[in-house]
A and B are shown apart, each in its own frame.
Chain A
Amino acid sequence: VSCISPQRVMLRTVASSSLAPSVKAKLIRAGFCSVADLQELRPGQLSKEVGVSQEEAAEILKTLHTDALPVNDGGLVARGVTALELLQREQAQGSIVTFCSALDSALGGGVPVGKTMEVCGPPGVGKTQLCIQLAVDVQIPMCFGGLKGQSLYIDTEGSFMVERVVDVARAAVEHCSLLAEDAGNRRKAMKEFTVEKILSCLFLMRCHDYVKLLAQSYLLPSFLSEHPEVRLIVIDSIAYPFRRDFEDFSHRTRLLNALAQHLNQLATQHNVAIVLTNQMTTKVWNGQSKMVPALGESWGHAAAQRLILYWEGARSSCSMTVTDKVRERERERENRECSEPRPNKWLVELEESFCPHLTCVLLYRLAVLSKSSRPDGGHCCHTRSLWSAHTPTP
């Protein structure tokens, strides 16, 4: 439907069009308040009446004409779908598994494509690990229930470790090859699903401050058009660049809200899943202090789903026996390689827990889905070390 009936154009006002405010002001001062007034004019007449150059007048007429077109042709008018069609589309769309069954069932099958999800948690709880796992899981071939898509990883903290990606990819390939033994088409798909292929389909961008991050987000539409197979965008973390050097909090809130809406637009238009990582901050309220997600209250509305990871209770008691085993292996490892100075306590625990030689459960975490499209999604699920990137021993 590319022709616009004159009646439908008649009520579109100039003030609501997407022209620049100065141009709109000139048009309104010249007496044009609705698009119908401009319909019969040529660019020459318009430029004389309004006082703009002829190229600008032609540009104005073209913009007003495009605005009235449907969204597929570059315009603004959205075509509606019934809820039934939307349901069929949603059921045909897959989701990205996390290889943790409790988390997948809480999320309704995995991380949904076409929506934004926020993962919050204290430092060291495993947000980056979850993101790395998702960046590999999105590439699983379709015959195993995956999406066979590529992923884009935007790293703002410098916490991206390629070695870890190799570990996770290797474990995923092993897991899938175990499943592929019985079916022919799966074996064929396994030929393409190798560690090298996984690494080559993972795009990495590094943004060191918020200006670069905002600029990168505005370049994403062209990137996504050039790489239509991308199904996952991870921004790790979105809190870090916005928590430094910002004195004016209302300015920060406005920038964040604009970025959130832009990301929502990207997720819907290009059919990608967007996962954002956030940090925690302490809120002092009525004499009590509580850990809440950072970046303020209005940021809470940004993502469609929000997952908050906590440590369960006191980690010391339940993990004591396990850390003994860990310490043994670590001593072995230290004897083999020269030991580097340990950066901090949290990082060490993480590396211990994700040592690729261990196959059993290590540290307990709680995951709470605090915001989702279903109200019963807020239950706590106990997750056992999700990202032990290898198959559990039978």
Chain B
Amino acid sequence: MTVLRVGMCPGLSHDLINALQSAGIRTVEHLVSTNIEELAQKCSFSYKIIFQALMAVRRVLLAQHTAFPVFGLDLYEELLCSTAILSTGNPSLDKLLDSGLYTGEITELSGGPGSGKTQVCFGVAVNISCRLKHGVLYIDTSGGMSAGRLLQMVQAQIPGAAEQMAALQRIHVYKALDAFSLLACLQEWRAAGLQLMSAGSSVKAVLVDSLSALFSHLVGGRQSNAGMSMMMQVAGELKLLSKDFGVAVLVTNHVTRDSSGVLKSGLGHSWSHVPHNRVLLQKVERPGSHTCLRVAELTKSSRQPCHLQEELDISYSKNLNPENQPVTS
């Protein structure tokens, strides 16, 4: 619903806009959906002005604001040259996600407290920064970011100190402590371009940890319209970011139990349609000591069959990809 303004297209003069406003037409949408003859009768314009000016203006505005259809073949070729698959650093998780995170898609990771979502996010960030040497934008909403842990994981992958510092400099951390700041952050990035945000290294992934900390108290109540609309706007921004800039988006979420006691991801039904792939993490119930193993289940995917399960090791203490050579300085 764009407001009609002078200079939007040739022929849209100040007098014409005033006349339209007095007839109640303020936006482009109104103009292209009204019947021009009825409008003529209401405004008592002369026939010449109607047919030449208004029809021309209407045609131009329609052309400016319409979406164009694209051939499937062109779309496929564009996909082949612009999509990249980013490994998560964990071979079992890669197997579950059909070799990794795809750019242009949103992947959601959900799990209970202490199930390892933040550790997996750290693992992805460290892998992209150390091995693939690309930038990562990390949005931290709940204070779970620990740079000391990132350093530990980087040190397990790269031996030299200078290389480790360079890898840490490719990870950019933003703090968004409420829904408005998150939206402001995402819209800034879209306006300025992600490359400006990372000062040089091309950004390939955006991680949001965790989305549910911001929205779980805004949705689900009696007056949840405003909260739901903010959540859907964030979803829209993330999708636009991933498609326009060719980045992979990874989001974390909490879990709730429904009435029969089955675990399901939080944030409700509306959010469940947004991510392209969803993974549920659970602790392995082994009596005795604490273990670093988790079970990941694929609950939604556009490529793999659902309900595949894999066991993950989230300690990230040793080089988990033995076939790739470690980077030497």
Contacts and interface: CB of A to CB of B under 8 A. Distances in A.
Interface of A: 7-13, 15-18, 21, 28, 30-33, 37, 67-68, 71, 75-84, 86-87, 89-91, 108, 114-116, 250-251, 253-258, 260-261, 264-265, 267-269, 285, 297-298, 300-301, 304, 306, 368, 370-371, 373-376, 378-380
A300 B256 CA distance: 11
26 contacts: A9-B191, A11-B190, A13-B187, A28-B1, A31-B1, A31-B3, A31-B27, A37-B3, A76-B185, A78-B174, A81-B172, A83-B151, A86-B173, A87-B148, A87-B168, A89-B147, A90-B146, A90-B148, A254-B216, A265-B177, A268-B177, A298-B266, A373-B148, A375-B119, A375-B292, A376-B292
B14 interface: no
Contacts of B165: 84
B184 A16 contact: yes
Contacts of A368: 290
Interface string B169-183: 111111111101101
B134 interface: no
Nearest to B185: A78
B84 interface: no
Given A116-B143, A264-B177, A301 B172 contact: no
Given A17-B180, A78-B185, A373-B149, A83 B213 contact: no
A25 to B, nearest CB: 10
Contact of A379 (B191, B254, B289): B289
Contacts of B229: 15
Contacts of A8: 188, 191-192
Nearest to B237: A16
Contacts of A90: 146-148
A11 B173 CA distance: 22
B147 A87 contact: yes
Interface size, B (range): 35 or more
Given A16-B187, A264-B141, 16 more contacts: A16-B180, A17-B180, A21-B226, A31-B3, A78-B185, A80-B172, A83-B171, A84-B165, A86-B147, A86-B173, A261-B214, A267-B143, A298-B256, A301-B212, A373-B118, A376-B315
Contacts of A300: 112-114
Interface SS of chain B: mixed
B257 to A, nearest CB: 7
Interface of B: 1-3, 26-27, 112-114, 116, 118-119, 137-138, 141-152, 165, 168-178, 180-181, 183-185, 187-188, 190-192, 197, 210, 212-214, 216-217, 220-221, 225-226, 229-230, 233, 254-257, 261, 266, 289-290, 292, 314-316
A3 B142 CA distance: 29
A267 B221 CA distance: 27
Given A86-B145, A269-B177, A298 B216 contact: yes
A225 B178 CA distance: 20
Q: Which 4 A-B pairs have the closest CB atoms?
A: A300-B113, A378-B290, A87-B147, A257-B217
Contacts of A10: 191
Given A87-B168, A250-B220, A80 B180 contact: no
Contact of B184 (A77, A80, A89): A77
B226 A12 contact: no
B216 A370 contact: no
The winner among B175, B221, B289 for most chain A CB atoms within 10 A is: B175
A27 to B, nearest CB: 11
A16 B314 contact: no
B168 A375 contact: no
Contacts of B145: 86
Nearest to A86: B147
Nearest to B145: A86
A286 B220 CA distance: 28
Candidate in B151, B177, B214 with the most chain A CB atoms within 10 angstroms:
B177
Nearest to B192: A8
Nearest to A78: B174
Given A8-B191, A16-B187, A297-B255, A264 B142 contact: yes
B180 A77 contact: no
A84 B191 CA distance: 26
Contacts of A301: 113, 142, 210, 212-213, 254
A77 B185 contact: yes
A91 B118 CA distance: 20
Nearest to A87: B147
A187 to B, nearest CB: 34
Nearest to A268: B143
A258 B214 CA distance: 8
A114 B143 contact: yes
A261 B173 contact: no
Contacts of A258: 217
Nearest to B223: A21
Contacts of B150: 83, 87
A83 B141 CA distance: 16
Contact of B114 (A17, A33, A298, A306): A306
Contacts of B169: 82-84
B242 to A, nearest CB: 16
Contacts of A12: 184, 187, 191
A265 B176 CA distance: 9
Most buried by B among A86, A90, A253: A86
Contact of B2 (A31, A77, A297, A374): A31
Contact of A304 (B138, B143, B168, B261): B143
Contact of B151 (A7, A15, A87, A256): A87
Contact of B180 (A18, A116, A256, A257): A18
A82 B194 CA distance: 15
Which of A7, A13, A18, A261 gathers most chain B CB within 10 Å?
A: A261
A81 B139 CA distance: 11
Nearest to A109: B148
A304 B144 contact: yes
Nearest to B214: A261
Contacts of A21: 225-226
